[in-house]
């Protein structure tokens, strides 16, 4: 393990470790803020005024599902239009150059893949997909969007905030008239194929992440406060096994006590500097 102080603006110590290869990236909402998607807990984090939809509320209440789908119907358009930023592109380049052995993301926006990253493990799913809770059929979010537009031809409202889960802040009166649609296969309840707060990440997905961590030499955390256990457990697991834990995040994180180094810079800037410092290819 390295013995470096966290919270600096120097990426050189990270570059020295990343240059050795066998790095697994664990990314959070902070890497997507430069693409116009807010994070949950940063300076403008959406958890400050916003309570995300929980799995219990979604399955228990038709009014809760109506609220979610009305807000998400508008919010998803912003997520779908978002483009990868310099941070996403740097991660893809580090992978292409052979430094990374895996990418795990807590994000549901698909921007790592859009930037060219391969075999990304989407820990919390992806808003591009919709799943039926009754029959398990998975369909494209674009298809659902077309059906919702037909069912709500005049639905429009001023969006005051977009959250990382695609949930938009809307006036209550705008939500009450929204018409939901059911699964075309069985008539069951549709849910975005993402892990809501209070819902468990599928066990096979978790086990795949642990295998990546076990085979890695270093875990590089990008833009996550690690407040949620679903990501934090991998950092704790890596540290317990004596692996390097490196963090790039603006602000303290739950993983700081386990980290050899934390860079306190915007992700796009820090990852661009890291990419330059590591060289063209991993030997």
Which residues are annotated binding-site positions for NAD(+)? Answer: 28-48, 106-109, 223-225, 249-251, 267
Tokens of 233: 């457990």
Cα end-to-end span (Å), the chain = 22
Length of the chain: 283
50 has catalytic annotation: no
Binding site per annotation, positions for Zn(2+)? 132, 135, 183, 186
Alpha-carbon distance of 150 to 146, in angstroms, equals: 6
Does residue 80 come out as left (phi exceeding 0), alpha (psi in the -120 to 50 range) or beta? alpha
Binding site per annotation, positions? 28-48, 106-109, 132, 135, 183, 186, 223-225, 249-251, 267
Scored b (16 or more CB within 10 A) or e, 3-27 reads eeebeeeebebbbebbeebbbbbbb
Alpha-carbon distance of 164 to 153, in angstroms, equals: 26
Active-site entry in 73, 88, 112, 124 = 124
Active-site residue set: 124
């Amino acid at each position: 393990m390295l013995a470096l102080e966290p919270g600096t603006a120097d990426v050189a110590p990270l570059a020295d470790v990343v240059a050795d290869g066998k790095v697994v990236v664990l990314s959070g909402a902070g890497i997507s803020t430069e693409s116009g998607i807010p994070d949950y807990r940063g300076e403008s984090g959406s958890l400050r005024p916003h309570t995300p939809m929980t799995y219990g509320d979604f399955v228990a209440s038709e009014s809760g599902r109506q609220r979610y789908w009305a807000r998400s119907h508008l919010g998803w358009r912003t997520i779908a239009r978002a483009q990868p930023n310099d941070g996403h592109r740097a991660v893809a380049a580090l992978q292409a150059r052979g430094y990374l052995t895996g990418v795990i993301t807590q994000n549901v926006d698909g921007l790592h893949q859009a930037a060219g990253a391969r075999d990304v493990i989407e820990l919390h799913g992806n808003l591009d997909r919709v799943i039926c809770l009754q029959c398990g059929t998975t369909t494209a979010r674009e298809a659902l969007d077309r059906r919702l537009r037909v069912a709500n031809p005049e639905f429009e409202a001023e969006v005051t905030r977009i959250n990382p889960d695609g949930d938009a802040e809307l006036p209550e009166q705008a939500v009450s008239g929204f018409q939901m649609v059911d699964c075309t296969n069985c008539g069951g309840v549709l849910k975005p194929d993402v892990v809501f707060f209070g819902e468990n990440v599928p066990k096979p997905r978790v086990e795949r992440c642990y295998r990546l961590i076990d085979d890695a030499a270093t875990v590089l955390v990008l833009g996550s406060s690690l407040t949620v256990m679903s990501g934090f457990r991998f950092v704790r697991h890596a540290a317990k096994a004596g692996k390097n834990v490196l963090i790039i995040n603006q602000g303290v994180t739950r993983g700081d006590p386990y980290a050899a180094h934390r860079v306190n810079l915007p992700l796009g800037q820090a990852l661009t500097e890291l990419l330059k410092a590591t060289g063209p290819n991993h030997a």
